[in-house]
Amino acid sequence: MGMFDGINIAATGLSAQRLRLDVISNNIANATTTRNAQGDGAFRRDRVVMTPINLRNVWRSPVYPRGLETGMGRGVKVERVEKDPSDLRLVYDPGHPDAIAIGPKKGYVEYPNVNIVEEITDMISASRSYEANAQVITGTKQMFNKTLEIGRA
């Protein structure tokens, strides 16, 4: 039914923020992991790329730029989870089993580029976004209940 559109859109927001929180949790858990799944270096921070869901195609033309606007969207979805390409942290520790053996960085150990403070801030932001989406659903529910009250008496 068309009346559940608001709830569905907020549900996509809830899903996306939960996924973002899972990614942050993984980053924090692996904050000092010196190996990664591929075996070629330290763990790199993941980040989430989100994109809005629009059911219509977007075409632009300089002649009629507003002609095919997409109108109301349908929520958000996570497009991909990608690695953050920023530099890794280097700590000098020649005795570490993962220390770099050759080259100019000999003796240094690569640690992940995860900044705990930044991750916790992201986590607070994700949690607040989740709460905001839940608030939207509560508001929609109250609207529904008021509507039913019209027909009741």
Q: Which residues bind another protein (CB under 8 A)?
A: 1, 4, 7, 11, 14-15, 18, 134, 137, 141, 144, 148, 151-152
Cα separation, 32 vs 38, in Å, equals 16
Give the shortest CB-94-to-another protein separation in angstroms.
Answer: 43
Give the shortest CB-134-to-another protein separation in angstroms.
Answer: 8
**Closest CB to another protein among residues 53, 116:** 53
**Closest CB to another protein among residues 74, 144:** 144
- Give the Å distances, CA to CA, from 72 to 15, 21, 55, 102, 105: 19, 26, 9, 56, 53
What's the one-letter identity of residue 10? A
Give the shortest CB-26-to-another protein separation in angstroms.
Answer: 16
In three-state form (DSSP H/G/I as H, E/B as E, the rest C), the secondary structure along 62-87 is CCCCCCCCCCCCCCEEEEEEEECCCC
**Closest CB to another protein among residues 19, 99:** 19
